[in-house]
Amino acid sequence: MAASVSAASCEEGAGDDEECRDEAAALRLKMVAVAAILIAGAVGVAIPLVGRRRRGGGGGGGEGASSGGGTFVLAKAFAAGVILATGFVHMMHDAEEKFADPCLPATPWRRFPFPGFIAMLAALGTLVMEFVGTRFYERRHGEEASAAAAARDDTTALLEDGALAGIAAAAVSGDDEKQDAMHIVGMRAHAAAHQHSHAHGHDACDGGAVYDAHAQAHAHGHGHDHGHGGDERPSQAHHVVVSQILEMGIVSHSVIIGLSLGVSQSPCTIKPLVAALSSHQFFEGFALGGCISEAQFKNFSALLMAFFFAITTPIGITVGAGIASFYNANSPRALVVEGILDSMSSGILIYMALVDLIAADFLSRRMSCNPRLQVCSYVALFVGAIAMSSLAIWA
């Protein structure tokens, strides 16, 4: 008897509450959901990008434009908490529910922890993709960087020749000017030697801003030839790859939650999801927008990535509403596909939150040398994680 009831529920489809089933009301709510989620996602992803432009980041600002302010560091910490909670609390839980569904045969789906295994493979795959993608990006732009470096070297050589000529002229004109010039040269040499000998010592925080500026300029000039050079921060190529992989992980999950809402014919199910998914998309958009901003994309590329994220869930809802009459969300094939995609997205986002966002910022010299910023960043991290986790009550 129980087996026949279970089989019937698996064949009927979405499993909506029959007492609250109303296709017309559900369709109206889906239209509201499309508009609300589209606006929430667009606003969330736009905030960091607009903030970058106001700081003068344009399309290719420097490091100061992308992460110079403490507010931006706190926003990144909040976004890291959001992404971590999305992977652990939302996606992993959804994947476990799909693979544990009674509509799936017990063998092999409930005899092996597929969600964790697939998430692990996705995390390892993300590691490989980041390495290969960063190397590919650096090689692709290597010729441009080499030409620019050669031009800079030529300019530097000309300036050095001019400086030597000026020093020689000063030597002819008088002994006082010669002494001043030699004194300046000696001061610069002493400062360079002092920075070199103490940059990685126990006083790394002292004069850290000067050293960071020098290291950043050196990495910018030679990063395409020597990887990260002397800079402890990831290269722009790494930020580009991270933002693209992060969008891939978020978008795959957005499609699934859009389809799930779209195929539902129960207003009782859709109503709480509208507000919950709007907040969900806002937080995810904010996190993604921060990564896009840090990657320093050109304006068109950044706009394209933001637009693609904003429309993904509304498109999923629209497609789900179109196939609701014949789509069976409880079919074994649908459950397996959704479970695999959720598991992959979970692994990608957990890896990126822990490695590319939390570890990269919280273990940096800037964070360790600023206790106040460190404490505030930890608070922002936990607030982001808790806020996103709390949405799991409704969605």
Predicted confidence (pLDDT) per residue in 23-77, tens digit: 889 999 999 999 999 999 999 999 988 887 776 554 444 444 444 567 888 888 9
- DSSP assignment letter at 88: I
Question: CA-based angle 357:362:367, to the nearest 5?
Answer: 130
Q: What are phi and psi of 235, to 5 degrees?
A: -75, 170
What pLDDT, in 10s, does the model give residues 221-267?
444 444 444 444 567 788 888 898 999 888 888 888 899 899 988 88
Average pLDDT over residues 123-140: 88
Q: What are phi and psi of 68, to 5 degrees?
A: -80, -35
pLDDT of residue 127: 92
Q: How far apart are CA 391 and CA 395, in angstroms?
A: 6
pLDDT of residue 69: 67
Structure-token match 């986002």, residue found: 349
Q: How far apart are CA 257 and CA 106, in angstroms?
A: 25
The region of weakest confidence among 77-91, 105-119, 159-173, 264-278 is 159-173
Q: What are phi and psi of 91, to 5 degrees?
A: -70, -45
Tokens standing for 301?
Answer: 């590329």
Helix axes 236-263, 267-294, angle to 10 degrees: 170
Higher pLDDT, 135 or 34: 34
Most confident of 56-70, 189-203, 261-275, 368-382: 368-382
Question: What ranges in the chain are assigned the alpha helix state H?
Answer: 2-12, 23-54, 63-67, 70-85, 92-99, 106-109, 114-140, 142-173, 175-198, 208-226, 236-263, 267-294, 299-323, 332-351, 360-362, 365-368, 371-390
Q: How far apart are CA 312 and CA 254, in angstroms?
A: 6
3-state secondary structure of 204: coil
**End-to-end C-alpha distance for the chain, whole angstroms:** 32
Question: 57, 66 in Cβ contact below 8 A?
Answer: yes
pLDDT of residue 204: 52
Question: 339, 111 in Cβ contact below 8 A?
Answer: no
Question: 308, 244 in Cβ contact below 8 A?
Answer: no
- DSSP assignment letter at 391: G
Q: How far apart are CA 110 and CA 115, in angstroms?
A: 10
Other beta carbons within 10 angstroms of residue 165's beta carbon come to 10
